[in-house]
Amino acid sequence: MQNANEGALARAALRSSAWAERWFPDAWVFAALGVILVAAAALAFGATPAVTVNAFGDGFWSLIPFTMQM
């Protein structure tokens, strides 16, 4: 009887996982949208595209030591 319950639970878990993978975006989508949103805000507040790109590049590389510690 326990095998039947485990099989039903496994099927439900697989079905739930497949649904989530289909309808929820990856973390990359949220990261890309965040970058676009922040860049648009910087441009809206008067920064030039070159300054915005340079600030992004400087900030990105300053995070490398932190990520290497993780």
Domain definitions of the chain by residue range: 25-70
Share of the chain above pLDDT 70, in %: 93
Is 3 a residue whose pLDDT tops 80?
no
Provide the pLDDT for residue 64: 87
Query: What separation in angstroms does the CA of 14 have from each of 7, 9, 35, 43, 48?
Result: 10, 9, 33, 44, 48
- CA–CA dist 2, 41 (Å, integer): 56
Is 61 a residue whose pLDDT tops 90?
no
pLDDT band at 4 (very low <50, low <70, confident <90, very high): low
